[in-house]
Amino acid sequence: MNPKARPILKKSVKALLEQQDRQGCWSFPAHLGSHYISLYALFLEWLRFRGFSSRLDLNRLARILLETQLPDGSWRQARDPALPSGDINATVLNYAALKFFRACISTANAQPAMDAARKFILAAGGIDSTNQFTKTFLALFGLRGWEEISEIPYLIFLEALPLNYRQFSQWVIPHLIPMAYLRHNRVSRKIRGTFGPEFDLNELYAGHPWRPSGKEPEPSAWYDGFMVKKILRQQRNHGSWGGYTVSTLFSIAALDHFYRKHPGRFPAIPGAIQRGLGFVDPLYFNNGKGNYLGCLMDGGVWDTILAAQALAQAGETSDPLVLAAENLYETQTAEGGFPYGRDFEQYPDVDDTSRALVFLEKMAPFTRRTGAAESRKQGLQWLLKRQNSDGGWGAFDQDNVGSRMMKLFTHNLTDSVELFDGSSADNTGHVLAGLGAHGLTAGHSRSVRRAVRFLRRTQDPVTGLWEGRWGINTLYGTTQAGTGLLRAGESPQSPYLLRAAKTLMSFQNSDGGFGESTLSYLDDGHRGRGASTPTQSAWVLEFLCEMGLRDADTVSKAVNYLLETRSDSESWRDGSVVGTGHPGILYVEYPVYPKVFPVMALANYLNPR
């Protein structure tokens, strides 16, 4: 055992406890990039909604954009040192913001930055090479047409029909409804500066600039009103649509357009818009270190679960953890699941519920809450009901794999989002760990046996790896599936788990850590390969310890990597993105991950289960 490990773990536990708030929660907002702030800045100009004052500081945004631009003129969607350049969607949105607001920002560096960005965009194919979400916003601003964006028939929003919009994933639905309205009505509104001409991006077209072909249709009070009514009904308690900022902006745009044409039809619209903006603006500008980084959703429950689980795994049972447990019980839904954060209460998910149940079971002897045991039992039943036909688990729904017709209507959107929510190895592993913590193992549960068969069937037979859906990539999928299997009763001597461990060990970098690039979703040659990160190293370390390999040289080097990379200022920090939003498309920065997963791994290393 490394003699430095226990003192470092103790310091890390203390640091994590100090970041707990008075309600017993932790919050480290996840984010997707400052280009979402650029988009929001432009959207506020488009909306011109009276009675709302944003916290947006254009000069601060400009400084962030200029500081984060890459030498080739592009901006990254997420940090990944393996990527040779940035992302065209992020670059187009940041360029647009700098161009529109350059007269308002106090910097002389905007024009050179814009020149470099324009050169990158044109070399990448111009505006025509952006994805459907970016094109939707550009069409909204009158910067390109709606022709390339598939029209989504209103018919699929009739819930009485067997094939309807509820076949899509939880994250697609709140975006899809307003997008259908905006596309059907070809909603377009030019924005202009105080004294300048209408804003355009004609210089970003690699070929001929787009020219408008005709006026947008007038929305029908009845036909389009059906969609507007549905949008109003979808708004959540804290003002969002679906818990996401982008779906909220789409919904606000649809409501605003309809209200301008039919102001007396739905008098609730102005209030709904006000509440929607009241959800988005604090997420973007009132989130500490997450300010101006594009926090697209509140994940306070997830952060709390992970922090509390890490501390409990490290042996903490103090009053702060009892308070965290009490708070988590309060977030549990009536059906038994746990949500990701604010406005996800209607859609609790498998990951949160599984990890919450592991923590709450560990804290059971110290929690005097009436009905706590019944609440945990209800959570287990909720998980078991979510098992898919193939034996695995998705994130939110059961058997959410889509139909041919639904895929046909939305096939163009696949460059922007994963449309469905099928079983994944990591979700299934989390559930097995949750079930195992409550004594449900392969020897006692048919559901567990079905899940084990699903994982055996989906494992790469040569490498022993599993793909990761919600973390990058095979390092996440393999370690979470493998750990779940072990906690559900599988033997660490099982050849298929030994194969996985051997392959993972072969990925170790010279610094002792592990890392995997986003490129692994696009090229198998990058699987398991990338710059070391504390989070990904911790995933591998914990799995190897679960496998009983604490004395292996690989484990010793991985522990040393974690000990050497910890700083007193912020414990650990990942130098590359490790969270997956949509494989091969979108990646999420989770600041909570390097704060908690190394604590879990070191605790497992020092205190064998």
Domain-located, residue 287: no
**159 located within any domain:** no
Average pLDDT over residues 262-286: 96
Going by pLDDT thresholds of 50, 70 and 90, the confidence category of residue 412 is confident
Q: Which of 181, 216, 251 is the last residue of a domain?
A: 216
pLDDT confidence tier of residue 404, bands split at 50, 70 and 90: confident
- 178 pLDDT band, cuts 50/70/90, is very high
pLDDT at 100: 92
pLDDT tops 60 at residue 195? no
Residue that terminates a domain, selected from 185, 216, 247: 216
- Say whether both 10 and 42 belong to one domain: no
On whether both 14 and 138 belong to a single domain, the answer is no
Q: What is the pLDDT of residue 556?
A: 97
Burial of 588 (0-12, 13-18, 19+ CB in 10 A): buried
Distance from chain centroid for Cα 321 = 26
Quick one: how many helices (H) and strands (E) in the chain? Answer: 22, 2
| CATH code assigned at 519 | 1.50.10.20
Same domain, 368 and 450: yes
* Positive or negative: CA dihedral 431, 437, 441, 446: negative
Distances (CA, A) of 138 to 72, 189, 254, 532: 23, 10, 15, 37
Phi/psi zone of residue 188: left (φ > 0), alpha (ψ -120 to 50 degrees), beta?
beta
pLDDT at residue 463 is higher than 90: yes
CB 39 within 8 A of CB 588: no
Tokens encoding 526: 């990058």
Sequence-distant (6+) residues with CB within 8 A of 200 are: 143, 209
Q: What is the DSSP letter of 587?
A: E
The string of DSSP letters for 401-447 reads ---HHHHHHTGGGGGT----B--BHHHHHHHHHHHHHTT--TTT-HH
d(CA 31, CA 34): 9
Residue 109 has pLDDT above 80, yes or no: no
> Which pTM does this prediction carry?
0.96
* C-beta of residue 131 within 8 angstroms of C-beta of residue 125: no
Residue 107 has pLDDT above 70, yes or no: no
pLDDT surpassing 80 at residue 506: yes
- With a cut of 80, say whether residue 409 has pLDDT above it: no
- Contact (CB, 8 A) for 349 and 395: yes
User: Could you give the number of structural domains in the chain?
Assistant: 2
Query: In terms of pLDDT, which residue wins out, 409 or 87?
Result: 87
Asked if residue 535 and residue 501 are part of one domain, the reply reads yes
Grade residue 440 by pLDDT with cuts at 50, 70 and 90.
very high
Co-location of 18 and 65 in the same domain? no
Residue type, 472: I
Instruction: Report yes or no on 101 lying in a domain.
Output: yes
Residues 123, 110 share a domain: yes
Condensed to tens digits (0 to 9), the pLDDT of residues 19-72 reads 999 999 999 999 999 999 999 999 999 999 888 999 999 999 999 999 999 999
Cβ neighbours around 508 below 10 Å, total: 21
Choice between 145 and 492, residue whose per-residue pLDDT is larger: 492
Neighbours of 525 (CB within 10 A): 8
Helix (H, G, I), strand (E, B) or coil at 31: strand
Mean pLDDT of 443-470: 97
Shared domain for 369 and 485, answered yes or no, is yes
Average pLDDT over residues 11-23: 96
- State pLDDT tens for residues 512-552: 999 999 999 999 999 999 999 999 999 999 999 999 999 99
In DSSP notation, 101-153 reads HTTTS--S-HHHHHHHHHHHHHHTT-GGGS-HHHHHHHHHTTSS-STTSPP--
Q: pLDDT for 583-605, tens place per residue?
A: 999 999 999 999 999 999 999 99
pLDDT score at 112: 92
For the chain, the distance separating the N- and C-terminal CA atoms, rounded to the nearest angstrom, is 16
**Shared-domain flag, residues 209 and 311:** no
In whole numbers, what is the pLDDT of the chain averaged over residues? 94
Domain presence at residue 521: yes
- Cβ proximity of 255 and 269 under 8 Å: yes
CB atoms within 10 A of CB 564: 12
Let me know if residue 581 belongs to a domain.
yes
106 lies in a domain? yes
pLDDT of 415 reads 65
The pLDDT value given to residue 108: 64
Q: What is the mean pLDDT of residues 152-158?
A: 89
- The tens digit of pLDDT for each residue in 211-269 reads 776 677 888 999 999 999 999 999 999 999 999 999 999 999 999 999 999 998 999 99
Mean pLDDT of 379-384: 98
Whether 249 is in a domain gets the answer: no
In-domain check, residue 350:
yes
- pLDDT, tens only, 283-331: 999 999 899 999 999 999 999 999 999 999 999 999 999 999 999 999 9
Q: Are residues 212 and 332 in the same domain?
A: no
Claim to verify: residue 91 and residue 134 sit in the same structural domain = yes
User: How high is the pLDDT of residue 559?
Assistant: 98
**Structural domain that includes position 108:** 34-146+204-216
Out of 194, 216, 238, a domain closes at: 216
Asked if 314 and 339 sit in the same domain, the reply is yes
pLDDT of residue 403: 73
pLDDT of 101 above 70: yes
Same domain, 430 and 478: yes
